[in-house]
Amino acid sequence: MLEALAEAELGRGRTHPNPVVGALVVSSGKAIARGHHERAGGPHAEVVALRQAGDRARGADLYVTLEPCDHHGRTPPCTEAVLASGVRRVVIGSVDPNPLVHGRGIRRLRAAGIRVDVGVLGDACDAANEMWFKFITRKLPWVMLKAAVTLDGKIATGSGDSRWVSGRESRMLVHVLRDEMDAVLVGVGTALADDPRLTARLPRVAVGGSRVATGVAPRDPVRVVVDSTARLPPTARLLRQRSTAPTLVACTLRAPPARVKALQRAGAEIVRCRADRAGRVDLKDLLRRLAGRGLTSVMVEGGARIHGSFLEGRLWDEVYLFVAPRLAGEGALSWAGFDGPRRMDQALGARIVDSSRLGDDLLVTARPLG
């Protein structure tokens, strides 16, 4: 199953709105075929592996990280391919939470006389698809907040200079994360100040334990700008990229029609969102709309107000904080801007789940309490 999990990771960032899945066909204790789900609409992992195995699959064991589907979608039911292959046993990591699948694939295989073992490395298989599980069960994308900060928690000097807070290894890993996430999101303030590209430029070697697959071309994420009144200029670099991924501009109804039309002419796709009490884009409404486009994960790259809004609204699932050995001092910009509590026991809580060195930097990963 560990090998099937490694196979699944080869599809990371390329399968939305589907999960990442890996499969192995094993005979006499040896893997004779393997496969992973490469893209939505393409064959599922177990079908790829079984096709590769051919007649050798008869009497073998099939290991798959997620329960085979038993319904017609963009592809036929995987259970049909499993039954036709002649495998004697199917070993499953995760039960599929999708109501169209949940338990059906397992029941059909067992009804046909195939031995089915469920939950092998279940926690690891669940973790591999935790972003997709949230998307399926809550109709919302997984939200990762990403920031590069100094030791005193600043993202830029008092003058706004931020190049570069973090070191080369950290910046390389950010491009890997962009390649793996379905969308990357910034506030219009960051878009105006930095004029970023927000594309994925993969390093030639893996960094930070990342899942860079040799020979895999970079894949740009969908770019999202939260811009309540359509202030993004049509000349922004976000709109001038040679990329197959679109740039979405999230506006409220207050956005002047002339500005909206100018952005559309420049190639932006406009996402009309409800306004919150302050008249800005309602972020939960935006997340629902992104999920409606099949986006299962979003990396929020700033700035401080956007980060603060996601934190304050409890709309986040994970924080990636790249901490650099620098001190910016008083007057510098903090990474998360929101009204803090009066007492420390009222502070927003989080739990640190991992920390690792990246060159001279420290990557700290945190998640909400509870």
* Beta-bridge partner residues of 61: 26, 89
Determine which helix (DSSP H) or strand (DSSP E) holds 144, and give its type and residue range: strand 142-150
> Of 46, 67, 180, 318, which one is the catalytic site residue?
46
Query: Three-class SS of residue 170?
Result: helix
Q: Answer yes or no: 46 catalytic.
A: yes
147 to 105, 141, 319: CA distances (angstroms): 41, 19, 8
Residue by residue, DSSP assigns 216-247 as PPP-PPEEEEE-TT--S-TT-GGGS---SS-E
- Sorted by sequence, the CB contacts under 8 Å of residue 26 that are 6+ apart come out as 32, 60, 61, 62, 63
Determine which helix (DSSP H) or strand (DSSP E) holds 182, and give its type and residue range: none
d(CA 51, CA 29): 19
325 to 60, 151, 153, 342: CA distances (angstroms): 53, 6, 11, 29
First vs last C-alpha separation in the chain: 29
Determine which helix (DSSP H) or strand (DSSP E) holds 313, and give its type and residue range: none
Q: Which residues are catalytic?
A: 46
